[in-house]
Amino acid sequence: MFNDYSPEACGMTAPPGGTRISLLRVRDLSVEFATRDGVVRAVTEVSFDLSPGQVLALLGESGSGKSVTLRSILGLNPPVRTRVSGEILLKGEDINRLAERARQDLRGGVVSMVFQEPMTALDPVYTIGGQIEETLIEHRGLERAAVHRRARELLDLVQMPSPERCLASYPHEISGGMRQRAMIAIALACEPELLLADEPTTALDVTVQAQILWLLRDLQRRLGLAVIFVTHDLGVAAEIADDAAVMYGGRIVEQAPIRELFRAPAHPYTEGLMHATVRRRQKGKALVPIPGAPPNLAALPPGCAFAPRCPHVKPVCIEALPPLHVVASDHVSRCHLVPERLASPLLVLNKGGSL
């Protein structure tokens, strides 16, 4: 799953069904920004694969590098004072080596993106219908007559209430939930294979969030879409993802199938997050917060970035960057304690869904 750790190397067999075909393959992606406060290492050596139809949640707190990772897949980082390294292979093509024109074709074709704030992503001076039609003409080369019919079909696809009226409305005239549906319709206009969704439900009310999550899951299944879903919310990830990659301080610190992540988190940060998150029926039981605050990305420590907040910290954690350890098939954790914990299962706190 990760290039710096092959399953064979640790005596593991390949997953059943042979190697999955990868739609997206990210290898050692690093992104640095030169700022007044020094070099901000927003993303460091991030690697993962995504197969067609797979839903990956990119989980992490504010500033952990989720959006920068996502934007890198589209080559959307600011052109100046930015250093991007590593490979992003989309259907075998390295997008960092493509000319800007070819990248633009990718953006409207194979990959589309949905943002947190549809109000800023939609153009306020065009109607929703106009914006969908524009996308269709530009990227699909459809004719005017066909375009209107297709726009209407797309609004039906995202289950827009009163679609005809919506086509003629401007973004500010419709509700937040409808704007997000319109955004999704535009993203689907070019029949992408990969949808990048950056916190698409965070700005929505919980009853509307439930609708949009359900819609995205339904569309994903029907259209066989691969999705990378950025979220800071464990609950949202539990609703939508097949797998999750947890980011901390610009790195992926744990990756696992979503059930496995909830059942047996193997990184102290993930574990801490599970304990710190308020759940239903938790009244009267103490919350266990993670002490301290996230790291300064302009002054990352040489060892594990989580070490200063980690309840299990050892001297080695401060000195050396932990490698990715295999915890189970498809489950890796960047923590020095993994071998020890695997050897003596009692040390694996909270295993077995006591949460």
Partner 1 sequence: MSVALLEARGLRKHFPLRGGVLQRTRAWVRAVDEVAFQVRAGETVGIVGESGCGKSTLARLLLRLVEPDAGHVWFDGEDVLRALPSRMKRLRRDMQLVFQDPHASLNPRLTIEDAVAFSLLVHGVRRAEAREKARMLLGRVGLDPRLYGRRYPHELSGGQRQRVNIARALVLDPKLLLLDEPVSSLDKSVQAQVLNLLQELKAERALTYVFISHDLNVIEYVSDRVLVMYLGRVVESGTADALAESPKHPYTQALYASAPSMDPDRRMERPPIAGDPPNPINPPSGCRFRTRCAFAMPKCAEAAPAPVAVAAGHDVACYLYDEVRT
Ligand X SMILES: Nc1ncnc2c1ncn2[C@@H]1O[C@H](COP(=O)(O)OP(=O)(O)OP(=O)(O)O)[C@@H](O)[C@H]1O
Q: Which residues bind partner 1 (CB under 8 A)?
A: 61-62, 161, 175-178, 205-211, 213-214, 217, 232-236, 238-239, 241, 258-259, 262, 272-273, 275-283, 286-291, 293-294
- Select the residue interacting with ligand X from 150, 232, 312, 351 (CB under 6 A): 232
The token pair that represents 138 in the structure block: 């530009």
40's contact among Mg ion, ligand X, partner 1, none, with CB below 5 to 8 A by partner kind, is: ligand X
- Select the residue interacting with Mg ion from 67, 180, 220, 255 (CB under 5 A): 67
60/129 with CB nearer ligand X? 60
Give the up-direction half-sphere exposure of residue 76: CA atoms within 13 A in the CB hemisphere. Answer: 14
Task: Give the interface segment with ligand X, choosing from 66-74, 106-114, 323-331, 333-341 (CB under 6 A).
Answer: 66-74
63/303 with CB nearer ligand X? 63
Instruction: Please tell me whether residue 289 adopts helix, strand or coil conformation.
Output: coil
Query: In Å, how far from its chain's centre is CA 156?
Result: 26
99's contact among Mg ion, ligand X, partner 1, none, with CB below 5 to 8 A by partner kind, is: none
64/270 with CB nearer ligand X? 64
Task: Return the DSSP state at 2.
Answer: B
90/258 with CB nearer partner 1? 258
**CA–CA dist 25, 212 (Å, integer):** 27
Contact between 297 and ligand X by CB under 6 A: the answer reads yes
Instruction: Please tell me whether residue 252 adopts helix, strand or coil conformation.
Output: strand
- Alpha-helical (H) ranges within the chain are 66-73, 100-108, 118-121, 128-140, 144-157, 163-167, 176-188, 206-223, 234-240, 258-263, 268-276, 315-319, 338-343
332's contact among partner 1, Mg ion, ligand X, none, with CB below 5 to 8 A by partner kind, is: none
Do residues 350 and 278 make contact, with C-beta atoms less than 8 angstroms apart? no
**CA–CA dist 119, 92 (Å, integer):** 34
Least distance between ligand X and beta carbon 205 (Å)? 8
Contact between 63 and ligand X by CB under 6 A: the answer reads yes
Contact between 46 and ligand X by CB under 6 A: the answer reads no
Do residues 58 and 230 make contact, with C-beta atoms less than 8 angstroms apart? yes
Which residues of the chain form contacts with Mg ion (CB under 5 A)? 67
Which residues of the chain form contacts with ligand X (CB under 6 A)? 33, 35, 40, 42, 60, 62-68, 78, 232, 297
